[in-house]
Amino acid sequence: MKKLEISEVLKDGFSIAFKNILSLIGAFLLWVITIWIPYLNVGTTIAILSIPLELSRGNVISPTFIFDSKYRKRMGEFFLLMAFMYSAMIVGMFFLFVPAIVISYAFSLAIYILIDKGVNPLQAIKLSNEYTYGNKWRMFFINLIAGVICGIALGIVSIFMNISIVVWFILYLAVMLIMFAWLVSINAVYYRELALNAEAPATE
């Protein structure tokens, strides 16, 4: 069982983010522009949610990857996966929220597994739980640290609001984009380290 190294995940996340930040912005803009197109919008939304899978392979992604037909092909499985995942988390919330948090991390790789390994929704959930075993609280603390760093960065930028609103807006937008790319890329590191090279069971 592989254990995530907190400092390595944060560092690798930054590296992936800076290589792909323009591509991520481009992909998001293409998604926004085409969100009104029926059927296509389902595939592009699945692709947007699967960005960490694409980033996990180490290459600079193309913004147009969101139009790949493989995302539309898994539309039915995606809806079933979301239904199973959120049903479990809602039930977990009735037990004082902690089980819901644990479940959210246990299932956090499921959508990437569904797309990447060609398994069914229940298998994707099961594999996600197996791959994250022993790392859920590490993932929680990594995300907590990343959130604190993002908050500090935005807090520093807020100082410029009293100097120039234009400068503040530009800096705020830039920091927001960098932080967004970093948080997405951290998820890519999770998948790369825990699931990318793991073998999925044969499907019938």
**Exposure class string for 27-52: b at 16+ Cβ within 10 A, else e:** bbebbeeeeeeeeeebbbbbbbebbb
Give me the residues of the chain with pLDDT under 50, please. Answer: 203-204
Asked if the structure places residue 111 within a domain, the reply is no
Structure confidence at residue 10 (pLDDT)? 95
CA atoms within 13 A on the CB side of 124: 26
The structural domain count of the chain equals: 1
Task: Let me know if residue 33 belongs to a domain.
Answer: yes
Q: Is residue 41 part of a domain?
A: yes
Asked if residue 80 is part of any domain, the answer here is no
Beta-carbon count within 10 A of 101 CB: 15
User: Tens of pLDDT along 84-101?
Assistant: 999 998 888 888 788 889
The pLDDT of residue 204 is: 45
CA 154/CA 150 separation, integer angstroms:
6
Assigned domain for 64 exists: yes
Does residue 100 lie in a domain region? no
pLDDT at position 200: 60
Amino acid symbol at 50 = S
Can you give the pLDDT at residue 129?
94
CA pair distance 158, 171, nearest whole angstrom? 9
Q: What pLDDT, on a 0 to 100 scale, did the predictor assign at position 1?
A: 65
110 in a structural domain: no
Give the span between the Cα atoms of 13 and 10, in whole angstroms: 5
**Other residues' Cβ atoms within 10 Å of the Cβ of residue 163:** 9
Range of the domain at 35: 6-75+132-194
pLDDT recorded at residue 41: 93
- pTM score of the predicted model: 0.91
In a domain, 91, yes or no: no
